[in-house]
Structure 1
Amino acid sequence: MNAVVNNSLLALMLALKDLESPLSEDEESTLSDVAAQLSLDPDAWESDIEPTLMTVIAANPNLNQLYQSAKSQLDNVNGNIPKELIPTQSEVEEIIPPTPEIATRGFAPETDESDFKSNEINNMVISILSNPAPVETTKKLGRFEQLKQFIGAK
């Protein structure tokens, strides 16, 4: 996964965190499908995952506005996000227990920093979107507020 994918996924998390209205059941179901696809085949980003994700985002004007704003801010920092601003898998699991049917990708041993960030972001997004209440989950993760402040200060 690359910086474009990570920025898209983080922008979605920040948009969900700031979303004031709840998602519809269809939106939550589609986001859960996105999580399953990310888990099964993260390399299908351009062909399957991103188009599905963008359809959900575009259909919800409030979510779309929040997403576009966060995406723009994330693009401005060029992927230079300190890893301490990304919620860890253990922090996510404190809020929502892991679901055994959704596999996470884990960490690649002895790889560069970008691989670490990719796997951590991917795993976090899979856990949150697999949860029946992704909006409420993102609101409980304090690191998203720190990330929002970081990208807003740039």
Structure 2
Amino acid sequence: MTVTSKYILLAYLLSLRDYSESLTPKDKENLNEFAKEFRAYPQEWESHVEPFLMAKIAENPQLNQLFTTYKDKLNQSDKIPLDLLPNLDSFYQLEKTLNSNPLQQARSEIPNLPDDTTPEGQAELLNNFAILISESEQPENTANQLTWLDKLKQWLS
């Protein structure tokens, strides 16, 4: 995963976290479509998945504005400290937050959780967060409950 793709996913999750309204059914459908595409074609991030996500974000002006703000902040920041990125503990927090059948289905599709001490493992974990949050019933509420996103937001301020 490139720095750019990592920043796009982080900006996306931060924008969901700060989204002040409830997402519309169409927005939720768009995010669910993104999750399905990302799950099916993770190796096609640059050619297919990223443009798909950008198009879906652009359809919601408030989400797009938040996304652009966070993406700009991330692009201007120094290297993000590792303790501000998701790890296995935060994945278990997400699991507890969702505590639903869709998560069990998703976990069955993630047979081995990645090693969060390697760059590749952290990238895979971030991908899994983006997918699972996008698939949740209320992505904006799910993202809002993750403490690592709060810490990252504070660091960016």
The TM-score, its normalising length taken from structure 2, stands at: 0.84
Q: Distance in 1 between matches of 2:133 and 2:57?
A: 16
Alignment of 1:121-140 (within 5 A): 121-140=126-145
Please give the alpha-carbon distance, in whole angstroms, between the structure 2 residues aligned to 1:20 and 1:116: 31
Partner of 1:92: 94
- Alignment match, 1:39: 39
Corresponding residue number in structure 2 for 1:107: 114
Question: Among the aligned pairs, what percent are the same residue?
Answer: 29
> Where in structure 2 are there 5+ consecutive unaligned residues?
none
Match of 2:156 in 1: 151
Structure 1 residues 108 and 7: CA distance shift in structure 2, 3 A = same
Unpaired runs of 5+ residues, structure 1, are none
Match for residue 123 of structure 2 among 110, 114, 118: 118
1:84-114 Cα deviation digits (max 9, x unpaired) = 22342111101013241562373259xx732
When the two chains are superposed, the root-mean-square deviation of aligned CA atoms in Å is 2.0
Q: Which amino acid aligns with 2:81?
A: P
- Higher fraction of helix: 2
Alpha-carbon distance in 1 for matches of 2:121, 2:53: 23
Q: Is the 8 A contact 1:13 1:125 kept in 2?
A: yes
Q: Does 1:13 align with 2:13?
A: yes
2:82 equivalent in structure 1 = 83
Provide closer, same or farther for how the CA distance between residues 44 and 76 of structure 1 changes in structure 2, counting only shifts above 3 A.
Answer: same
Letter matched to residue 94 of structure 1: K
**C-alpha contact 2:57 2:64 (8 A) present in aligned 1:** yes
Query: How many residue pairs were aligned?
Result: 149
TM-score w.r.t. structure 1 length?
0.86
How far residue 83 of structure 1 moved from its aligned partner, in angstroms, is 3.0
